[in-house]
Every structure is written in structure tokens, then in C-alpha cells.
Amino acid sequence: MQYEKERAAYIHAFIRTKQAMLREQLEGVAGDEMELKETFWDHVTVNFSNSHEIQETISSIKQQAELLHERERSGALIKKQMRTLRRLADSPYFGRIDLKIEGEDQAEPIYIGLASLMDENDSDFLIYDWRAPISSVYYDSEIGPVTYTAPAGTVKGVLENKRQYVFRRGELKAMFDTSLAIGDERLKESLSEGASRYMKTIVSTIQKEQNQAIRDEKSRYLVIQGVAGSGKTSVAMQRAAYLLFRHRSHIEANQLVLFSPNELFSSYVSTVLPELGEENMKQLTFRGYLYKRLGRVYEVEDGFAQLEYILGAAKGELYRTRMRSIAVKSGRAFKEKLDAFIEKLKEGGLFFKDIRFRKKTLIPKEDIETYFYCLDHGIPLQNRLRLTGEWLLKEIAKQEGKERSEAWVEKARELLDNETLLRTHWEVEKATANEEGFGTQERQEQLIAKQLVREAFEPLKKRIKALAFIDSEKLYEQFLFDDCHRDTEGFAAVALWSSSEISKKRMPYEDATPFLYLQDRIKGLQVDRSIKHVFIDEAQDYTHFQLVYMQMLYPAAHFTIVGDVSQTLYFHGPNQTGLIGGDEADVKYMAFYKSYRSTEAIIRFAREMLPNPEEIIPFERPGDVPVLVKGTSRQALIKPVKEWVEQMGERGYRTVAVIVKTAKEANDVHAQLSEWLDIQLVAKDHHEYKEGAVVLPVYLAKGIEFDAVGVFDASASHYASSQERYHLYTACTRAMDHLTVFAAGEWSPWLKPIPSHLYEEKQALS
């Protein structure tokens, strides 16, 4: 311990010295940069008298610009080094392995931290980056013979010791020797720090199976099924950091994209990559993508609105139709039918729109259909549409010439403002400069008319180039009423409902992806080949159709897909995480069964709600058993919940969540609690929340953890269906240290079978 403390003190002093040196260097570089900017033109000879002098001037400017750019680049590099040192100052390393390489006389101590640190001569590593090949031994291996893969090939050796460290503000506080991967003591130390509004890195406590997922480079599709609190989201983020480190010569952060379940989650994970010294990757939500593509024309329903409807609607005929709509349109069979329908369009059945201008039909849809299907059927559908578009543009050009003599053109010319007239005058003068008869009023009016008509036709031409002459709505409606659905029970009502909604410019969530897919298969998919890796979190809440569609959007990308079937929120049927395209050889499936987030007592309680509770292994972290509080009504629960929030604050918990089922309930509960408490309401468009007490619906709590959770109204009338079982389980597993479940009346049927020794029951006092 004495040796380790002395070494830690040396490293701390070395970091401080290096920080001081870098600050001095940065001041010098910043001074040079400022001087270069101030005197830039003093060192440039500007002369445009002849071509030689012009070239000399350009060369002089380029030389000064390159010098300035070099200073800026040097400054950016020093700042990056300083950020790394700031991260290392508080906790320079968290692990050590004593590794004796085959052929060497003695073991070398290898210290592992968030980033690499070289000695004063830049010749030896004082600390190795956790992503370095040799660091994998720390995560994967036990004491004894080991091998690891380095850039030069496979390295063999003997692992003689493994040690873990706990630092506080740069000072070594504790260390543990272990023969296994990561000892429980170090993990407990990390988990005891409590929750925050941002996700913490797990590099100091990565488990063996997590490390294998992080470092996997062979799989085109890595699919991880992980129980609540198993670290699957953290693994996805550390995997992104590893890929950026491992392939830094040809992968940049903007070539990685993360699909988050909501904006709140995006904020929650936003600090992970910067803490690891990497820039943040792109973050999207699927609902945001749908809105971007369809939002200009349609009122696009998102998944949360769909969920709110299902959980709050009366269970009548419309509800049953909607549930059938969601179930059918989410699966593989629906996509296969749509593919078959698209294939038939090569021979006939494609719908077109009239080409209209100023309420006149210039080219009727029948003529477009005739032209399209007269083209060689051996030409691919998209190419035939492009040829049809080119034909339409030629026809429009003819109509454009005829339109110049129409009365509206003369009126438009008379209404031109002075600025437009002046601009048009100069454009006309330029166009007629070399023409005989220039300057005549008649000629200028002709050219003004030509320009006015050209500008008026421009939006129409853009729509034709975008293939907007295809009637996508009617085409999708035709597919919905196609005979291929005749064996699907109740689908006629589904087709009527969907086509009615879309005709009113309302796009149901379950229709948005098939509708886009149909458009893209016909017009040409809008792919992004620059993206090298896609991360999809909470994958169980995506339909099969959506997962396959995202795969098509990024054809050059590898995919990391993580989720948990037991936390499925939506009503689209069974888990879809495995139903991605591609050969089985391209797909690797992994399962994480151990839960680390919550105390052992919380997990033993929560897992009893599931069909196979034994599949979830709790981490042995002590804590109080969950508390069940029963009241006579929902109104009678408000006061006990208010008192509970206050108690949690008094116990020192920084993040306290009251989790309800829907956004409507969140509004109601928040309105009542906020009369007494400083408590925040979290809505679906919120990007972050403050530490303290919050009220939020369960679907916004996905992927986030809180020190203490109070589940509001887990009664039989509220969490009764088989799907709501998973909502209740998800809400309970957001808690790290404390869980209280409130109910108005009888308990949910998913709580009743839980053995009584796993919780403490209380009666709410009115």
C-alpha cells in the first residue's frame, strides 16, 4: 500500500507538472495565433497588375493562411491533451495487471485508466488506455496463462496479479487484489455513488461478457438482450468509444449514429463519450426521423401518442381495430406482402397525379400512366420513373412557352416592385447586350414575361424531379385494400380506418414506416453511406419493419442493437430484436443476465413479475426491501406520495422519481404535488431534467436510473393487462437504492404472486 500511495502521488505530481507545461505552451501558441491574425496582411504582398503578380499574391496569402492553420491545429491538440489530463487528475487509473510476457524474465506492472499517459520522454507508458489491446487481459482473464491480440499478432504470457484502485480527488483511498475479472468490492464502490442526471462511464467495472461485446469487431450485427440494469446501454456507449479509438485513422464521431428512445435519454447519455475523450456521435430518435420525412405534409403520430391512446382509450370497436392495425403492420408478414405488391407494380397498378398549374391540368394522369407503362418493362421501376420525369419536364417546357401570353403574366409584370423591376432590367440588359434591337420596350417585356413564367414553373419542376407526380396516398390505400390481406381477420376495418386517417393528413405511427418504405422502394431509398456504425437502444420497442427499414437506410453500417424483452412498452407483439436481415453468419447474439443497477432486494422483488424470474441474477448489493403502500383511492395517495418525496430528500437522495403510467396522469399528479413540493414535470419533448424530484410517465424513464422511485397507483385497475406487466416491471427497475409502490385499492395481479418476505406492506393514512 505504501508503494502504491507513493506511485499515485508521483503520478499526480507528474500530471500537475505536465498541465503547467501545456498551459505555458498554449499561451505561447495562442499569442502566436493572435499576432498572426493581427498582422496577417502585413506579410502579404497584394498586386494584381499582371498574371505573375496575381499568382505571387495568391501564394503569399496561402502561405500565411497555412501558418495560421498550423498554429490553430497546435492549439487544438494542446487543448485535447489538457482535457485528457483533467480527466486523469481525479482518478488516474483504476486497475493494474502484472503480466509476464512469454520469453521475458519478469512480470511488468501495467496500469490501466481512462486514457494513456506517457513518461517525460514519451518512451514508456505510465498508464494504458482501457481500450488498448493489452487492457483486455484486465477485463477477461483470471490469474494464470493468458493470450491477447495485439497489432503485431497474438501475445502469450502469464497473468501473475490483478489489482483495482479507488481514488478520490487524485488521492489513492483503497485497493483490492482479485483473481477474477472485476471484484465485487470495486463494483459496489462504483454503484454506491448514486444516480445523476447523466450516465456514468463503466470502464473501471466492465465485466468479462461486457468487454467481449465492447471489443467485438467481426459481427455485422451485434444483438444484445440484457436484463434491466445489466449495463447494456453503457456497453453500447463504451463500444462507440472503443471503435473510435481502435479505428481512429478511418472512423470519426460523425460517422456513428445512436437511435435513442427519446430526447431525455439522448441528454442522459450525452456526457459519456466526452468523458472518454471522444466527440459525441450523432443522436437521433426514430420519431424525429419520421417527422423530418413526413411532417411537412402530415400530422405524424409518434409512438408515445400511440401508447397514450392505447392506455387511455375506451375498449370499443375502434380500439380493437386500432390494436389489429398495430399488430399486423409491425410484423414480417406485412412487409413481405408490401414487397410482393411493389413487385406487381412493374406490370401495372401504379397511380399518378395530374400535372396542374394555376388550376389547369397541363398533363393528365392517364397520359403519364400510358407513357410509363409503354416503356420497356425490363427497365427497373425507378429508372422508368426517372425517364417519365424527364419526359414530363420536356412537356412542361412546351407549356411554359405557351403560358407567356396569358393574362396573369401581364398582371404580374405590372405588380412587380421597383427593386424587382430594377433587378430584372439589369438581367434583361445583360441577356440582350449583343442582340440587334436591344433596348426596345417590346423585347424587354418579352424577356420579363419569360422570366416570370420560368419562376412560376420552378416549384412544379422541382416536384416533378422529386417524382411527386406519383400518388403515394392512393397507392398505399390500394395496397391496404389489396386481396393479399383477405386472410387477415378484421383487416377490412383496419384498411378503412387507416385510409381515412391518411386522407385527413393524419399519419398513424404504425403506418408511417410502411408508407415511407413504399415511397422509397418506388422513388429510390434516401440512404446514408457515410455512416459506419449504428447503435439502436431499447430495440424491443421497435417493430420488425422499423428495424429492417433502418438497416436499409444505412447500407454501409455495422449495427449494435440492444434491448430487453421484459421492458417492452409497445403493443406490437413479440420481441423483434432478432428479426433483422442479413445472413446468420453476420449476426452475433449475446445475453446479459446479471443486473447491477438496483439493490439485490429490489431486483428479487421486481423479477417476480416476469414469466421466468430465475433468468435475472441480482448483484449482491445490500438495501432495504421495497415498500408497498395501499390507499383507498388515487386522491388518497397524494399525501403519502408527497410525504415520501420529502423523506427521500431528507435521506440525501439526489434523484427521486414518481413514475406514472401515462403523460395525462403525470400532468394530474404533478399539478397536485407541486402545490406542496418543488417537483419537476418531465414531458416527451424535454431534453434534460434537474436533479431533485420529478414526475414522469414510465416510457420516458426507459434507460434512466434514479436513487429512489415511487410507482404511482400499481392497482388492479391500472396495471392489469399482460403488456402492462412489463410497464410495471420497467418502472420498478428504474430504482437504484429505494423503491416504494403505491396503489389505490387492490394490487395489480402482477404484484399479488410476489412472496411477502420480499417486501414490506403499509396502509396509507388518510
Residue 515: Cβ-neighbour burial (10 angstroms; 0-12, 13-18, 19+): buried
pLDDT at 575: 47
Residue 210 located in a structural domain: no
Total domains in the chain come to 5
Residue 761 main-chain phi, psi, to 5 deg: -105, 140
pLDDT at 538: 92
Together in a domain, 675 and 737: yes
Q: Residues of the chain with pLDDT > 90: what percent?
A: 63
User: Which is it for strands 153-168 and 144-150: parallel, antiparallel or unpaired?
Assistant: antiparallel
pLDDT at 576: 45
Q: SS3 breakdown of the chain: % helix, strand, coil, rounded to 5? A: 50, 20, 30
236, 261 contact by CB (below 8 A): no
Together in a domain, 386 and 462: yes
CATH number of residue 631's parent domain:
3.40.50.300
Per the DSSP assignment, residues forming a β-bridge with 421 are none
pLDDT at 424: 64
If pLDDT is split at 50, 70 and 90, which confidence band does 66 have?
confident
DSSP for 398-439?
HHHHHHTTSHHHHHHHHT--HHHHHHHHHHHHHHTTTSTTTT
Q: What is the pLDDT of residues 266-317, one digit of tens each?
A: 888 888 888 888 889 999 999 999 999 999 999 999 999 999 999 988 889 9
Rounded to whole angstroms, how far apart are CA atoms 335 and 112?
48
User: Which is it for strands 299-300 and 617-618: parallel, antiparallel or unpaired?
Assistant: unpaired
361, 354 contact by CB (below 8 A): yes
Mean pLDDT of 68-91: 85
Mean pLDDT of 415-436: 65
Rg of the Cα trace of the chain?
33
Q: Which amino acid is at 22?
A: L
595, 618 contact by CB (below 8 A): yes
Per the DSSP assignment, residues forming a β-bridge with 110 are 97
551, 522 contact by CB (below 8 A): no
- Closest Cα to residue 649, out of 693, 706, 700? 693
Residue 609 located in a structural domain: no
Q: Is 474 helix (H, G, I), strand (E, B) or coil?
A: helix
Which residues, other chains included, contact 290 with Cβ-Cβ below 8 Å and sequence gap of 6+? Answer: 300, 302, 507, 509, 512, 513, 516
Q: Is 229 labeled as ligand-binding?
A: yes
CB hemisphere CA count around 84 (13 angstroms) = 19
Q: Is the dihedral of CA 57, 63, 67, 72 positive or negative?
A: positive
735, 297 contact by CB (below 8 A): no
pLDDT at 520: 94
Rounded to whole angstroms, how far apart are CA atoms 264 and 684?
8
Q: Is 232 labeled as ligand-binding?
A: yes
DSSP-derived secondary structure letter, 352: B
- Closest Cα to residue 328, out of 511, 483, 506, 497? 511
- Closest Cα to residue 560, out of 243, 304, 271? 243
Q: What is the pTM of this model?
A: 0.85
Q: Is 230 labeled as ligand-binding?
A: yes
Together in a domain, 41 and 134: no
Give me the helix-helix angle, 441-465 and 418-431, nearest 10°: 100
pLDDT at 355: 95
Of residues 103 and 536, more confidence is placed in: 536
- Closest Cα to residue 478, out of 622, 330, 337, 678? 337
- Closest Cα to residue 746, out of 705, 708, 703, 717? 717
pLDDT greater than 90 at residue 602: yes
Rounded to whole angstroms, how far apart are CA atoms 1 and 12?
16
Mean pLDDT of 39-67: 69
Cell reading at 677 = 413540493
Rounded to whole angstroms, how far apart are CA atoms 172 and 169?
9
**What is the chain's mean pLDDT, rounded?**
88
Together in a domain, 329 and 385: no
If pLDDT is split at 50, 70 and 90, which confidence band does 577 have?
very low
pLDDT greater than 70 at residue 428: no
Per the DSSP assignment, residues forming a β-bridge with 558 are 533
Rounded to whole angstroms, how far apart are CA atoms 137 and 189?
22
Rounded to whole angstroms, how far apart are CA atoms 640 and 764?
6
pLDDT greater than 60 at residue 578: no
Cell reading at 434 = 449583343
Residue 222 located in a structural domain: no
pLDDT greater than 70 at residue 53: no
Together in a domain, 496 and 584: yes
Q: Is 623 labeled as ligand-binding?
A: no
Q: What is the pLDDT of residues 453-511, one digit of tens each?
A: 998 999 999 999 999 999 999 999 999 999 889 888 899 999 999 999 999 999 999 99
Together in a domain, 632 and 743: yes
Cell reading at 382 = 425507378
Rounded to whole angstroms, how far apart are CA atoms 514 and 575?
19
Residue 555 located in a structural domain: yes
Rounded to whole angstroms, how far apart are CA atoms 2 and 591?
41
Rounded to whole angstroms, how far apart are CA atoms 47 and 396?
50
Of residues 420 and 545, more confidence is placed in: 545
**What is the extent of the structural domain holding 66?**
1-90
Together in a domain, 410 and 499: no
Residue 662 main-chain phi, psi, to 5 deg: -130, 170
Mean pLDDT of 144-172: 90
Q: What is the pLDDT of residues 383-407, one digit of tens each?
A: 999 999 999 999 999 998 888 888 8
Rounded to whole angstroms, how far apart are CA atoms 610 and 616?
10
pLDDT greater than 60 at residue 113: yes
Residue 291: Cβ-neighbour burial (10 angstroms; 0-12, 13-18, 19+): middle
Rounded to whole angstroms, how far apart are CA atoms 57 and 66?
14
- Angle among Cα 46, 50, 54 to the nearest 5 degrees reads 40
User: Of 171, 196, 221, which closes a domain?
Assistant: 196
565, 597 contact by CB (below 8 A): no
Of residues 184 and 349, more confidence is placed in: 349
Number of CB atoms found within 10 A of residue 525's CB: 15
Least confident of 69-73, 176-180, 560-564: 176-180
pLDDT at 486: 86
CA 691 to chain centre: 23
- Closest Cα to residue 268, out of 252, 280, 255? 280
Together in a domain, 488 and 460: no
User: Of 152, 168, 196, which closes a domain?
Assistant: 196
If pLDDT is split at 50, 70 and 90, which confidence band does 579 have?
very low
Rounded to whole angstroms, how far apart are CA atoms 164 and 97?
9
If pLDDT is split at 50, 70 and 90, which confidence band does 75 have?
confident
User: Of 55, 70, 90, which closes a domain?
Assistant: 90
Rounded to whole angstroms, how far apart are CA atoms 651 and 481?
60
Together in a domain, 337 and 370: no
Element containing residue 695 per DSSP (H, E) = strand 692-697
Residue 543 located in a structural domain: yes
If pLDDT is split at 50, 70 and 90, which confidence band does 438 have?
very low
Cell reading at 633 = 383511492
Residue 214 located in a structural domain: no
If pLDDT is split at 50, 70 and 90, which confidence band does 182 have?
low
Q: What is the pLDDT of residues 715-766, one digit of tens each?
A: 999 999 999 999 999 999 999 999 999 999 999 999 999 999 999 999 876 5
Residue 78 located in a structural domain: yes
- Closest Cα to residue 166, out of 187, 147, 181, 143? 187
The H helix count followed by the E strand count for the chain is 25, 26
* Distances from the Cα of 503 to the Cα of 40, 192, 334, 479, angstroms: 62, 55, 21, 15
Residue 304 located in a structural domain: yes
- Closest Cα to residue 203, out of 70, 75, 112, 303? 112
Together in a domain, 753 and 652: yes
Together in a domain, 636 and 718: yes
Together in a domain, 476 and 331: yes
Q: Is 233 labeled as ligand-binding?
A: yes
Number of CB atoms found within 10 A of residue 241's CB: 26
pLDDT at 62: 77
